[in-house]
Structure 1
């Protein structure tokens, strides 16, 4: 059994805990958070408030990092320098330059670092990728990603780092809509250039953007359009649509639709997750399990 620890016991950490505990090849042996009251949530597991103590006292194979964005790279470097693999919550880093530094360190140490983009494992995405690979529909022409979510002011005041550029690295792009942007690139390939507009239309006293609109040009001439916002009144269903020479597919409401001459037909549906917030998607377990099994 692989010995696994979690560093950072915020909102998303319990999904990691559940996935590890349900794994047939991994065991959660320790957790770490600077807030000692979090120990109440993990009474049956060794608890640490200092990362140095955790890494010194525990023999670990994998560490899951679920910390604020600015701590991702420094803590990941600290862990891989101990010869321990890292499974990192998104985003990988605050910015591109910082991500490159982590990549270089990972390559130097021949270490293993995985990033949690769990929606790649959704059934709708798997089936869409199969349809595109079949070549039955011709070349990919265009791709669209839409994310209309809502975040109240309390979302930022309860955890101020979320609204700070130096700690979050951005707003809707790097925090909420990052999974949709990841799927767009996963489907359409390399990005050639981007023209975008960022704004804060909620007028919250935050440094990060709450709304973004972008035109994205991918390799092979694929045209992309993306829009994301935290200014809506609720968390509306994410939409991802692809247009091919001879077909159109749309992921919405956790279903994949093919548009035909007879109208829209549902051809795949994501599993329903009762273990987490619906907008997290149902595939954390599969993503984490896939990383563990590659150890």
Structure 2
């Protein structure tokens, strides 16, 4: 029998979730919820609600996808979890480390399954690199570079003002556009030792959040990570992640993994791609969602947990504090 699934929040990223749910034979989309009644036109063949508690009360749901603005992630997740429904939560986990700790306490106090949508962990390129690291085939990881140069016009913030508010978004380019890159950097690098970072605004938009940030992330194994992100670019360039081993060098770019061989980049593997205007999201939402559904059906726990998503939030906070205090922040 298919899982009965609902979606809370019908913003931009919900389209990817709705598509994945409808394609998946393990799930049935039975209800959606948004405070904007005009969104009813987006999904006409299921029950529509403007109150998520009412939706959960009236529908016998197995799982709910939460696709809401960042400031609503914790309170809505807490409500839904306490109502006994399993959850798939869009990134980021939350606003900051303080709220991440609340999430950790929540996960320890309930039996509800909560999966965080860090779908780039399911990319073919990511899996290949992770296997290379685990096998030690190329020796230790010495360095990691993460670059995100995207474009967000001022209308991006004026159309949805919460995106430019620190209180409501928790940040800008780091938490919104680069959370996946930071997540993969810490996944590849291991335990963090210290961080030195800078945040800035290169545009003249009327926003509180950063549009640009950079950092040096030092790992306990002596690996050094260099990170740069901006949404002040003129286009959405390919995200680039480079991993330097003792005996090899790999680069993820244009959704492909390349290995340096005799001074030339040789393509190793390519990620599945998403069609349409949101192609840069990648296609691994489907893989993450399918894996999570399998976990719910088989009562297993092999999904991205709250604890897995906390480090990327802590990194962002450390970069922000380092920039403000102009000093290295020790991890702890």
Instruction: Report the Cα distance in structure 1 between the residues aligned to 2:275 and 2:40, rounded to whole angstroms.
Output: 24
Unpaired segments of 5 or more residues in structure 2?
A: 297-332
Instruction: Report the Cα distance in structure 1 between the residues aligned to 2:106 and 2:126, rounded to whole angstroms.
Output: 31
Aligned length: 295
In the other structure, the counterpart of 1:162 is: 163
Contact 1:15 1:275 in 2 (8 A): no
The 3-state SS of whatever aligns with 1:294 is helix
Out of 129-138 and 249-258, give the one that drifted further: 129-138
In the other structure, the counterpart of 2:137 is: 136
Instruction: Report the Cα distance in structure 2 between the residues aligned to 1:53 and 1:193, rounded to whole angstroms.
Output: 45
How high is the TM-score relative to the length of structure 1?
A: 0.98
In the other structure, the counterpart of 1:246 is: 247
> Which aligned runs of 4 or more in structure 1 are off by greater than 4 angstroms?
none
The 3-state SS of whatever aligns with 2:228 is strand
TM-superposed CA distance for 1:133, in Å, is: 2.2
Instruction: Report the Cα distance in structure 2 between the residues aligned to 1:21 and 1:276, rounded to whole angstroms.
Output: 19
The 3-state SS of whatever aligns with 1:231 is coil
Equivalent residues in 2 for 1:226-245 (5 A)? 226-245=227-246
Contact 1:150 1:232 in 2 (8 A): yes
The 3-state SS of whatever aligns with 1:209 is coil
Contact 1:15 1:276 in 2 (8 A): no
Equivalent residues in 2 for 1:49-128 (5 A)? 49-128=50-129
Instruction: Report the Cα distance in structure 2 between the residues aligned to 1:273 and 1:95, rounded to whole angstroms.
Output: 29
Instruction: Report the Cα distance in structure 2 between the residues aligned to 1:218 and 1:74, rounded to whole angstroms.
Output: 33
Instruction: Report the Cα distance in structure 2 between the residues aligned to 1:60 and 1:130, rounded to whole angstroms.
Output: 36
Contact 1:80 1:106 in 2 (8 A): no
Out of 230-239 and 181-190, give the one that drifted further: 181-190
Instruction: Report the Cα distance in structure 2 between the residues aligned to 1:286 and 1:187, rounded to whole angstroms.
Output: 20
The 3-state SS of whatever aligns with 1:221 is coil
Instruction: Report the Cα distance in structure 1 between the residues aligned to 2:192 and 2:204, rounded to whole angstroms.
Output: 31
Contact 1:147 1:239 in 2 (8 A): yes
Instruction: Report the Cα distance in structure 1 between the residues aligned to 2:103 and 2:62, rounded to whole angstroms.
Output: 19
Instruction: Report the Cα distance in structure 2 between the residues aligned to 1:221 and 1:29, rounded to whole angstroms.
Output: 50
In the other structure, the counterpart of 1:24 is: 25
The 3-state SS of whatever aligns with 1:249 is strand
CA RMSD, Structure 1 to Structure 2 (Å)? 1.0
